[in-house]
Amino acid sequence: MDFNIRKAVSNDMIHVYGMIKELAEFENMPNGPQIDEKKLIEDGFESENPIFKCFVAECTDSKIVVGYAIYFPIYSTWEGRALFLEDLYVKPEYRKHHIGLKLIKAVAKQALSENCKRLDLHVLSWNPAMKFYEKLNAVNLTKSEDWNFVRFGTDAIAKLAE
């Protein structure tokens, strides 16, 4: 089986959305996604300044989309430009074909082309993908620098904005 990594187009979002739901199931958060493929198209392809970018992995022969990587620019006051990898997902039946590696390499090449100094991401503590990232020389900041991931949700944002 051969796979192609390419920049996503709006028509890919129906497949990406399906995989987002699969990822949510895997992470034991089936009610997590609050968006749909229309929102993905709007935010990533129809706005003047797209909020995210995406690579997809597709089977060369069948053109079936089997994985994706969603990322977006962030900024570090210590190092400057950076990218954040929101999701990296490959359908279970297509794993072990190095598709995840190809996807993260595509994002890394994009980071280099944008003069980024970092590529950040979050991984659940129990997710075996952490070993994959560590093999690629990622540093677990929870262990090395004792950083905590903190979030203000919709209600907290509204309260802060009062």
Q: Which residues are catalytic?
A: 133
Neighbours of 94 (CB within 10 A): 16
Residue listed under structure tokens 């907290």: 156
Are the CB atoms for 84 and 120 separated by under 8 Å?
yes
d(CA 136, CA 56): 20
Would you list the DSSP string of 58-122?
EETTT--EEEEEEEEEEEETTTEEEEEEEEEEE-GGGTTSSHHHHHHHHHHHHHHHTT-SEEEE-
